[in-house]
Structure 1
Amino acid sequence: MREIHPDLLRKLEKITKEEEIILSGKNSVEKTLYTTKKEFVIDSKKMLEKGKLIDVRTHTRFTHFPKHKHNYVEIIYMCTGSTTHVINDASQVILRAGDLLFLNQNAYQEILPAGEKDIAINFIVLPEFFDVAFDMISGENMLKDFIVDSLRQDTKKSSYLHFKVADILPIQNLIENMIWSLMNKQPNNRKINQTTMGLLFLQLLNYTDKIEKTDNDPYDNFITISVLRYIEENYKDASLTRLAGELNQSVYLLSKTVKRNTGYTYKELLQMKRFNKAVELLTNTKLPVTDIIAAVGYDNTSYFHRVFKEKYNMTPRKYRAGLS
């Protein structure tokens, strides 16, 4: 992992006013700094200036941070040291330097006391901030959709994503750039930071193997993400039997896990990917339809034509002709 720039680190290390009060003997978080409600839901209106969609603050050290959730998406980046998070009363997540933790608005967490050198950055992000970032991830991508759903308030999927990406230099650079831009109130910083977030997501999609945990059943979600990544990368000749062997799973159990977590069977997911890719090739290339059918993994052209017509109410040739 690259070390954070020393000038930036010096700013982040400073004892805050809240921490001064804690160190003077109060030894607990002042709830009214974060919310006016009885339930401890940290309010974006307390954390963000009016009109802002994103900001950063350092995590409060030297005391136990009690169980709470947020009415925004929180991204935690561990600069130095480590912090221990208990999520949804079940999962213990230890963040170490370079780690990223994404929490959606359903996730409850409490954080064990952090020491002086345990410096974590909290990104406070309103959901609409992600609009530009997600638009940058072009095309149909089931893996992207699964990750995006994990950040939505009404998701039934993972309530958090833990990326262990300390050794991924581009990701570390992008995060530091965003912290620097927000702390220094750089001109045009909304557009800069939304673009940077988009680049960050594009990089994270390349490293979904670095997701350490996702929710109360981390292995279950690891399996699902592995299947989605496998389909994205191997749609032409994907084999459920081969993948089950690689993941040390039975075909039956693997199929059940995928269906439970995505709402689709493995066959449906594979077909979706193949036809999405076929549409992309019809749109962006002049390849003959027969070549496209082979390129996306079908050797039965009549089957492809039948399913394509069922999905799009026209033949592949008419679909292409309608684009011109």
Structure 2
Amino acid sequence: MRKELLDELMIISEEEKKYKSGQSTVEQSLYAKDNLTEIDRKRLLQRGKLITVRPHSRFVDFPEHRHNYVEMMYVVQGSITHYIEGKELVLRKGDVLMLNQHVSHAIKRAEYEDIGINFIALPEFFEVPLTMLHEKNVLADFVIGAMRQKNPVSHYLLFRLKEDLQVENLMENMIESMLHTHCNEDIANQYTMGLVFLYLLNHLENLSHNSSLDYKETVVQAVMEYINSDCQNANLTKIAEDTHQSMTVLSKLIKQKTGYKFQELLQRRRFQKAVYLLMETELTVEDIALEVGYENQSYFYRQFQKRYGMTPAKYRKLHKKDKRIPI
């Protein structure tokens, strides 16, 4: 981040001077009318504005609370510790935490070098970013959930991006435009946020927490169901399109969650089915190879012998009676 902007963000505010001088509780009048259990957007967001930024106030613990707006925290430097649903989440430089209105959380005292920026936004701010996303993905689900009036759920996302220059530049642009009022800043920031979302979608391996569902698990489960239902034709390109992921991201998620590459999982499933067909049907070995997705007969024979230590015909002869299907 540019030194001039960072220097501005590190200035100790009048509110922070009180905490630094010994005031141990949050200045309630700045955040809510009656109590701090729900922070009120009217105290933080100017009338007619869809979004604003506010440096996180240091030198004081924030008690458990929720908001009547969507909040996104970006850590510029140092660390900020949140407590959500009994979990301690330590955000470090470059991390992005998104909270919808229904998330209750507390925040540990931050010190002088700990700079976090809160993006305070109405749900409708995300209408433009939503149009830039695919129909079904973790960020679209988050935005739709934030807009939902009926049956709302607590939903948060934490992306551990470390020091990523692309996201840092986009965040810097939004922070600078909101601290120093620019023309058409709301619409410009909506499109900039859309670019941030698109970048995050290409780096789902950095998605650390999601309170209402584990999106990684959901994607990988879809991959396994796809392989099991159609191992003959399964390919990574098709499942990447269906789950709206890039090939690179999807490969990383599969390896991260299962310990195997996509082709390894596919081959395991194909040979499970091949063994089943050897013992349960009278199909020829050549037909079985085609049935499980191998047009190259020689390759099928080599891989089968490598895996089971014998030819398919010999395997059928030895195990036809006991019907034992190894994994």
Task: Give the TM-score normalised by the residue count of structure 1.
Answer: 0.66
Counterpart in the other structure of 2:140: 145
**Mean Cα displacement is larger for which, 42-51 or 185-194?**
185-194
Residue by residue over 1:78-111, the C-alpha shift from the partner in whole angstroms, topping out at 9 and shown as x without a partner, is 00100110013x1211100000000011101101
Task: Give the TM-score normalised by the residue count of structure 2.
Answer: 0.66
Structure 1 position 247 matched with structure 2 position 292: no
The letter for the 1-side match of 2:39 is I
Say which SS state the counterpart of residue 236 (structure 1) adopts. helix
Taking structure 1 as reference, are residues 246 and 190 closer, same or farther at Cα in structure 2, changes over 3 Å only? closer
Taking structure 1 as reference, are residues 228 and 106 closer, same or farther at Cα in structure 2, changes over 3 Å only? farther
Task: Quote the RMSD (CA, aligned, Å).
Answer: 2.9
Taking structure 1 as reference, are residues 147 and 228 closer, same or farther at Cα in structure 2, changes over 3 Å only? farther
Counterpart in the other structure of 1:114: 110
Q: How many residues align?
A: 239
Query: 2:77 & 2:222 partners in 1: Cα distance?
Result: 32
Q: CA deviation at 1:166?
A: 2.4
Residue by residue over 1:47-66, the C-alpha shift from the partner in whole angstroms, topping out at 9 and shown as x without a partner, is 01111110011111111111
Structure number with greater Rg is 2
Taking structure 1 as reference, are residues 80 and 153 closer, same or farther at Cα in structure 2, changes over 3 Å only? farther
Query: 1:66 & 1:229 partners in 2: Cα distance?
Result: 41
Q: Quick one: which of 85, 92, 96 aligns to 2:82?
A: 85
CA contact (8 A) 1:213 1:222 kept: no
Say which SS state the counterpart of residue 21 (structure 2) adopts. helix
Taking structure 1 as reference, are residues 183 and 244 closer, same or farther at Cα in structure 2, changes over 3 Å only? closer
Counterpart in the other structure of 2:247: none
CA contact (8 A) 1:22 1:62 kept: yes
Say which SS state the counterpart of residue 162 (structure 1) adopts. strand
CA contact (8 A) 2:102 2:152 kept: no
CA contact (8 A) 1:164 1:211 kept: yes
CA contact (8 A) 1:77 1:122 kept: yes
The letter for the 1-side match of 2:116 is A
Structure 1 position 50 matched with structure 2 position 47: yes
Structure 1 position 236 matched with structure 2 position 232: no
Taking structure 1 as reference, are residues 147 and 216 closer, same or farther at Cα in structure 2, changes over 3 Å only? closer
Query: 1:110 & 1:212 partners in 2: Cα distance?
Result: 19
Stretches of structure 2 lacking an aligned partner (at least 5 in a row): 227-234, 243-250, 260-327
CA contact (8 A) 1:58 1:119 kept: yes
Taking structure 1 as reference, are residues 37 and 227 closer, same or farther at Cα in structure 2, changes over 3 Å only? farther
Taking structure 1 as reference, are residues 225 and 112 closer, same or farther at Cα in structure 2, changes over 3 Å only? farther
Query: 2:56 & 2:111 partners in 1: Cα distance?
Result: 11
